[in-house]
Homo-oligomer: A and B are copies of this chain.
Amino acid sequence: MNNFMFYSPTCFVFGKETESKAGNLVKRFGGTKVLIHYGGSSAVRSGLIDRVKASLDAEGIPYVLLGGVQPNPRSGLVYQGIELCRKENIDFILAVGGGSTIDSSKAIAAGTLYDGDFWDFYSGKPIEKALPIGTVLTIAAAGSEGSPDSVITKEEGMFKRGASGDAIRPKFSILNPALTQTLPPYQTAAGITDIMAHLYERYLTNTKDVEVTDRLIEALLLTMIHEGPRVIADPDNYEARANIMWAGMMAHNNSCGVGRSQDWNSHNIEHELSALYDCAHGAGLAVTMPAVFKYVMNHDVMRFAQAAVRVWGCQMDFAHPEVTALEGIERLSRFFSSIGMPKNFEELGAKEEDIPVLVKALCRGDGRQGSISGFVTLNEDDCTKIYRMML
């Protein structure tokens, strides 16, 4: 196991009606003037924003509102949020929404206290300070509620890039599974896929002897395999929603990924798809992951066989481990289809003729030197082949 530091100081408040505690939590963590940052009109229509406002009112905490976060959140709104926070002397950001809203809030939080362009942080500059953030989560997917990460799309060129730092970890996150019950099935399934991707990205490691984190990742994958179909069949199933929501947080706060090298090639390859086509990140991952895994499988057949046996319940073919390894990937692929995720470029709305554009953005964008690295290093030729496997 590699040396590591693990620091996850977020206070998680989980369960029914917990959004009513938002005001109290903002106060506990020192907020005196709040930016409520949110996405579309559904948070308003559902009454959620009103409930959060009432909870702040009850504590006498003033606030301003900034809605309009889109999936694959954009740099433009971040600049707008930074300006607003400075003008209004905001000292706490409350993200009410999913990963996009939380990621946008993190970018605003870091940008507000920085003299330069916030995009510097998404080009590799370490984040040293940020306004404190709280979240009220409305979709189990990105894990941003418990992570130090944020992904933003730069509108000029539609680059999708990430930043990370303990300063942008939420101080608290309110996780009420009931808030996810109104999600359309496609979004629920995209969330499930994203959570499973966070697990596979950690599972694909070159570090040996990491039994504890292997087992934790497998546990969370098994949870998703059990609860995913339950929630797709019965969107009002609170218990299934609750299990998925906690798994989603645990999948990405990195307690199951410490001390081991990780992959993240699937995420990188997908990011170009959602940046170009504005598709749901999870949907892009459902198409990307099986292709990537088949392409890299021979790098460590036994690792894929282990997942096949322990996670997918395959019988081990001891004479031909590669058969078992491949069967595990096929089952993953069929699982994605079973919950309504796309299987290929066409279903995703991607186009074969764009592959050179995707590969160039992936391997040459933002300072990359012709390849991406993870479980294996993939050059432009590899990435072209992988995109073609998704046709």
Residues of A within 8 A of B (CB): 1-16, 18, 177, 208-213, 215-216, 218-220, 222-223, 226-227, 239-240, 242-244, 246-247, 250, 255, 258-259
Question: Which residues of B sit under 8 angstroms from A242, Cβ to Cβ?
Answer: 1, 209, 259
CB distance from A156 to the nearest CB of B (A): 38
Most buried by B among A212, A239, A246: A212
Taking a contact as CB atoms under 8 Å apart, the answer to whether B227 and A222 are in contact is: no
State whether A5 touches B1 (Cβ < 8 A). no
The contact sample of 28 A-B pairs, CB cut-off 8 A, is A1-B177, A1-B239, A1-B242, A3-B15, A3-B16, A3-B18, A6-B12, A7-B11, A14-B258, A209-B239, A209-B240, A209-B243, A211-B223, A211-B226, A212-B220, A212-B223, A212-B227, A212-B244, A212-B247, A212-B250, A215-B222, A216-B219, A216-B220, A216-B250, A218-B219, A242-B259, A246-B258, A246-B259
Check if A9 sits within 8 Å of B12, measured CB to CB.
no
B-chain residues with CB within 8 Å of residue A15 when the two chains form the complex? 1-4, 259
Give bound CA distance, A223 to B223, whole Å. Answer: 18
CA distance in complex: A277, B1 (Å):
38
A255 cross-chain contacts in B, Cβ below 8 A:
250, 255
| Cβ–Cβ contact A243 & B212, under 8 A | yes
Contacts of A18 in B (CB 8 A): 3
Q: What is the distance, in angstroms, from A221's C-beta to the closest C-beta of chain B?
A: 9
Minimum C-beta distance from A219 to chain B (A): 4
B211, A227: Cβ atoms under 8 Å?
yes
User: With A and B bound together, what is the CA distance between A98 and B11 in angstroms?
Assistant: 26
CB contacts (< 8 Å) of A215 on chain B: these are 219-220, 222-223
Closest to A216 in B: B219
Which residue of chain B lies nearest to A238 when distances are taken between CB atoms in the complex? B1
Q: Which residue of B lies closest to A166 (CB)?
A: B11
Q: Which residues of B contact A3 (CB under 8 A)?
A: 14-16, 18
Q: What is the CB-to-nearest-CB distance from A12 to chain B, in angstroms, rounded to a whole number?
A: 4
Bound complex: CA A208 to CA B238 (Å): 12
Point out the residue from B12, B212, B250 that lies within 8 Å of A7, measured CB to CB: B12
- State whether A9 touches B6 (Cβ < 8 A): no
Using Cβ atoms and an 8 Å threshold, which residues of chain B touch A210? 243
> Which residues of B lie under 8 Å from residue A10 when comparing CB positions?
7
Tell me whether A13 and B9 are in contact in the complex, defined as CB-CB below 8 angstroms, given that A213-B246, A215-B219, A246-B258 are known contacts.
no
**Do B8 and A8 have beta carbons less than 8 Å apart?**
yes
A9 (CB) vs chain B CBs: closest residue: B9
Q: Which residues from B are CB-within-8-Å of A212?
A: 219-220, 223, 227, 243-244, 246-247, 250
Residue of B nearest to A247 (CB): B212
- CB of A344, distance to nearest CB on chain B (Å): 31
Alpha-carbon distance between A2 and B14 when the two chains are bound, in angstroms: 9
**A246 to B1 CA separation, bound complex (whole angstroms):** 10
Instruction: Output the nearest chain B residue to A208 by Cβ-Cβ distance.
Output: B239
Contacts A1-B243, A3-B16, A246-B259 given; 5 further ones with Cβ under 8 A?
A1-B14, A8-B8, A211-B243, A212-B219, A213-B246
